[in-house]
Amino acid sequence: MSRSPSDHAAPALRVEGINASYGPVQVLFGASLRVEQGEMVALLGPNGVGKSTTLRVIGGLLKPDSGTVHLGGMDATGWAPRKRVEAGLSQVIGQSAFGSLTVAENLTMHGYAAKDQKWVKEAVEAALAIFPRLNARRNQAASTLSGGERQMLALAKAIVNDPKLLVIDEFSLGLAPVVVGGLCELVRRLNDRGAAVLVVEQSINVALSLVHRAYVMEKGEIIAEESAAVLAADPDRIRTLMLGGHVAEAG
């Protein structure tokens, strides 16, 4: 991946002072976070505190009331989702796929914005190797996949795009531990290539085994920021931050 020196200087993602609402109900209150180039960061917190909403603002799916989103040093606050993808953002959102295309076609198509098409070919094969269930169905129409298989396809698609910033919501939800392990491997490979990663993850064990740093969110605000190693060594602190264990601590 070729990047200008100024790209290296700016964080991959900088979210600053985001206020966001659904209709009259405000759910984000001045949320700020950053992901440095090449860094892996988790956004943790109990249910309903605004983690997914933060990701929606980052992806351009929800317009904030105020605040800014910078991608690689560029002010992307007003950008459409597609422009963000073209700037290197890849986001795992839901399980959408082109139903009439096969699994392999869905994956290849998703790499359209990648500069390095050789990587796309390799990444499609790597993703299918991680998910044998998908590989066995590579020539099957996506519309015929089960719910779990669709989730695997959604995760595989985000990786194929060779992103500069990979954003994943509910990383391990509904997937068997062996699949989650394989997925972590794939994310690490991407990170080794220079991609920054932001994950929202209910399993703290999975999150802290993957990332360098974590933010904890509570009622639409970031209430703590800590290195993953420090947090992992202090389960009491995690429990306190997570409000008495609302978030599953077992992987």
Contact residues for ligand ATP, defined by CB under 6 A: 22, 27, 45, 47-53
Q: Could you tell me how far CA 147 lies from the centroid of its own chain?
A: 19
Query: Least Å distance between CB 232 and ligand ATP?
Result: 20
Which one, 51 or 150, has the nearer CB to ligand ATP? 51
Which residue lies nearer to ligand ATP by CB, 127 or 238? 238
Cβ closest to ligand ATP, residue 48 vs residue 78: 48
State the minimum distance, in angstroms, from the CB of residue 96 to ligand ATP: 16
Torsion of CA 34, 39, 40, 46, to 10 degrees: -20
**Per-residue buried b or exposed e for 111-135, using 16+ beta carbons within 10 Å of the residue's own CB:** bebbeeeebbeebbebbbebbebbe
Both tokens assigned to 227 = 């290195």
Q: How many CB atoms lie within 10 A of CB 208?
A: 24
CB of 49 to ligand ATP, least distance (A): 4
Q: Dihedrals φ, ψ of 21, to 5°?
A: -140, 155
Name which of 18 and 76 has its Cβ closer to ligand ATP. 18
What's the one-letter identity of residue 160?
V
Nearer to ligand ATP, 48 or 132 (CB): 48
Number of neighbours of residue 232 by Cβ within 10 angstroms: 16
Q: How far is the CB of 106 from ligand ATP (least distance, A)?
A: 25
- Residue 41, H or E segment: strand 40-44
49/186 with CB nearer ligand ATP: 49
Find, among 225, 223, 237, 218, the residue nearest to 48 by Cα: 218
CA distance 133 to 136: 5
Structure tokens at 125: 């094969």
One-letter amino acid for residue 111 of the chain: G
Nearer of residues 41 and 114 to ligand ATP, judged by Cβ: 41
